[in-house]
Amino acid sequence: MGIPSFMVLPLLIVVFAGVYYVYNEVMRFMSKSMVRNKVVVITDAVSGMGSECARLFHEGGARLVLCGPSWDKLESLHDSLCSGSDPSKTFTPKLVLLDFSDMENISDVITEIGECYGCVDALICNSSMKVKAPVQNLSLEMDKTVMDVNYFGPITLAKGILPLMITRRTGQFVLVNSIQGKLALPFRTCYAASKHAVQAFFDCLRAEVEEYGISVSTISHTFINAGAENGAPSQTPPTNRLWAYISGKLNTHGVTPSSLAHEIVRTVNRQNREVLLAHPVPWVALYIRSLLPSFFFAVVAAGVKDGAMAEQLK
């Protein structure tokens, strides 16, 4: 008995999704073994994505240097990672207090990071400060603070770690950046500017350090949807893991901390130069911005006018 023609396409989609799911699971398993013994520095490790990233690298046997602006949160993360872990398979993370909004002590922080293990295999720049407001409402001081956290902080740290990598002729920089480093949106002037700046810096750095065997990876993602991680309380999660994976890809908006953390681990293993973690709409917007800029600007401006009118009607 043959398969009805109208069933062919759905079956092909399910089969393709199943193969892709199995492939991701295999790569996820392999990635944990590939980070063993690597010295990995994670900035803003106390954030939702940073802590999830730290958990994955810790489980994989990496030697972690966790950086963050709050010592209490760093200690809490340290305790959560060490509790229940196998000391024979994992390393105790080292903690370094790092606040990019305080640039005066950055040189001491770089020295402290270098002294932890004497080398750095991967530096994951994860820190970010988000600001959303009309440009006339933002002070120059706020602009400077955002640039310190999102641009001057990461590049100063990268410049400080770079000599360690050049000496060993190996290493990797991973910039966790927003898609707004490629696509600027209204009411995010200083945020988008800082993301464009840091993207350009690491793009230039990639070409300059390739001769030393050092790789540079950038991951541009849409907004981090921490709420999607747990799912809505009213929704019953599918019992089938394959269907849960498919429905998650179809229904999720934004990027969950878990999926972003797994992408970072894959990027460290594969040393991908550039990764865009986004759903179809941002992808289409990027293409329109490149191919039809006038149309893109008109649509964005219309959206701003509609938003201003909606505020007046409230």
Q: How far is CA 52 from the centre of its chain?
A: 11
Helix (H, G, I), strand (E, B) or coil at 300: helix
d(CA 184, CA 126): 19
**Long-range contact list for 88-92, CB < 8 A, 24+ apart?**
89/61, 90/58, 90/59, 90/61, 91/58, 91/61, 91/62, 91/63, 91/64
191, 212, 245, 287: the catalytic one is 191
Return d(Cα 239, Cα 243) in angstroms, integer. Answer: 8
Q: Do the beta carbons of residue 271 and residue 215 sit within 8 Å?
A: yes
Residue 191 among the catalytic residues: yes
DSSP state of 255: B
d(CA 170, CA 38): 12
Phi, psi of 125 (to 5 degrees): -90, 105
Residues annotated as catalytic (active site), given as ranges = 191
